[in-house]
Amino acid sequence: MRVRRCAVVLVEPRESIDFDLVELALGETGVRERLGWLALAAHCDEEIPLDAAAVAALGALSPGHWQSLDELSSRHPRAVLEALLAKGLLIVQAPADEISRQFAQADEAVRAVHWRGLSAVTHRHARWRGVDSEAVERLFSEASPQTFLERLGPAPPVVGERAPAASRLPLEKPSPSPLDALMDRRVTCRNYDPAPLSFDAFSAVLYRAFGARAVSDYAPGVQLLKKGVPSAGGLHAVEAYLLVQRVEGIAPGLYHYHPVEHALEPLRALDADEAAKLARRFVAAQAYYAAAPLQIALVARFERNFWKYRNHAKAYRAVILDAGHLSQAIYLGATEMNLGAFITAAINEVEIEQAFGLEPMAEGPLAVCGFGVRAVTRATVEFDPAHRVWP
Ligand SMILES: Cc1cc2nc3c(=O)[nH]c(=O)nc-3n(C[C@H](O)[C@H](O)[C@H](O)COP(=O)(O)O)c2cc1C
């Protein structure tokens, strides 16, 4: 059998805290601190505990060259190598069983995309599965008599001032423009009307945020898009995957937006109940966002950005910044049509990947946005201190 180390793995010495209930009952603190090694691999969702022997072996195994397991056994304890194989940190060249095959496939997906190691591990391990933010909040409030803000204490000041007030150079505010009026009315919407969104409004906001205004044949085999938002390298690697619940003329379901054709690619039809349940799971049970007529997962096609920015220290940051620009374009496009919009980073990436059939290290959800007609009354809090939306 020939093996090699997985492409990307970081090893962290982490201190964890356990409680010894017997000690606790005897009136002592019961707190037990334990220091151990954890492997964070870019092709595995789980954090993998390691012992010192496994860490030493891992540091001596090539991620590039396939080597005979028998030959490696002359240099490392066989049991340690077997344990690394079972954990998927050693990859088998010709896997004979399903689990080894899955590890090899997941490792290959990481290699194919030219990830920077640190970014790959950050991305893989920041993904949520099955998180219910409402339940988490309830747990917090039950666990302590203090409110959340009481526990946090005062926030750092609103401005990081760097000079005495007297030395400031005052600037002129511009006279109000249509852009000012639009930005003043941009308020994250957490109250959506239950009626369907019109087809025209849906189509217009999608075009303004995601539609390609031109396609450029930049070089043989390299096309760039011109959109209303900037994008790292002009690559526009972040795309829109939609969960439609209530849009006139569009059946509830999952879609991909085609930015060049300005068209929806249907992926899966859903009944209204399925769509509502999935919407809730996508946004980690934030009910006010699940109630929007549609959700848009901003999905980074890492392979497109990293095709140019290979193993690059800034590339992952750049695609996240791209998503921020798209979100603002949705907000402004929606606000211009008197609609409300939202973005949330509190999302269950794993459920979104599964619903749309995405390989996590090739195409990853970074945030979920949405928009729709505002409700007549405000049931959930919104941040509108200047009363531009809510009188
Ligand atoms: C990156 C990002 C993540 C956000 N995540 C959430 C979220 O998880 N839940 C939520 O209710 N709002 C979320 N928001 C919206 C903010 O709460 C909102 O922008 C903020 O309260 C300011 O309100 P405004 O957008 O109306 O000015 C997010 C905004 C951004 C930019």
Q: How far apart are CA 353 and CA 297, in angstroms?
A: 10
What is the pLDDT, as a whole number, of residue 262?
98
- Ligand 1, atom 27, lies closest to the CA of 187
Q: Classify residue 124: in a domain, yes or no.
A: no
What is the pLDDT, as a whole number, of residue 181?
97
- Ligand 1, atom 6, lies closest to the CA of 344
Q: Is 330 in the pocket of ligand 1 (CB under 6 A)?
A: no
Q: Is 298 in the pocket of ligand 1 (CB under 6 A)?
A: no
- Ligand 1, atom 12, lies closest to the CA of 344
Q: Are residues 241 and 330 in the same domain?
A: yes
- Confidence band, pLDDT 50/70/90 cuts, at residue 96: very high
In angstroms, how far apart are the furthest CA atoms of the chain? 77
| CA distance to 60, 211, 356, per residue, from 8 (Å) | 14, 35, 25
- 19 phi and psi angles, rounded to 5 deg: -115, 125
The residue behind tokens 């054709």 is 261
Q: How far apart are CA 285 and CA 135, in angstroms?
A: 9
Q: Are residues 219 and 90 in the same domain?
A: no
- Confidence band, pLDDT 50/70/90 cuts, at residue 45: very high
Q: Are residues 245 and 366 in the same domain?
A: yes
- Ligand 1, atom 4, lies closest to the CA of 344
> Is residue 242 within 8 Å of residue 352, measured between CB atoms?
no
What is the pLDDT, as a whole number, of residue 245?
98
Of 25-39, 273-287, 295-309, the one with minimum mean pLDDT is 25-39
Radius of gyration of the chain from its Cα atoms, rounded to whole angstroms: 25
| Domain final position from 94, 112, 130 | 112
- Alpha carbon dihedral 67, 72, 78, 81, in 10-degree steps, equals -50
Q: Classify residue 387: in a domain, yes or no.
A: no
| Domain final position from 65, 88, 112 | 112
271: its two tokens: 């009944």
Query: Which strands make up the sheet holding 340-344, listed edge to edge?
Result: 263-269, 253-258, 238-244, 294-301, 363-372, 340-344
| Domain final position from 86, 112, 138 | 112
Q: Classify residue 166: in a domain, yes or no.
A: no
Q: How many domains does the chain have?
A: 2
Measuring CA to CA, which residue among 105, 116, 126, 133 is closest to residue 349? 126
pLDDT of 334 higher than 90: yes
Q: Are residues 288 and 212 in the same domain?
A: yes
Q: What is the DSSP letter of 196?
A: P
Cα 340 to averaged position of ligand 1 atoms, centre (Å): 13
Q: Classify residue 108: in a domain, yes or no.
A: yes
Q: Which atom of ligand 1 is nearest to the CA of 384?
A: 26
What is the pLDDT, as a whole number, of residue 48?
98
List the domain range (segments joined by +) for residue 47: 2-112
Q: Are residues 96 and 209 in the same domain?
A: no
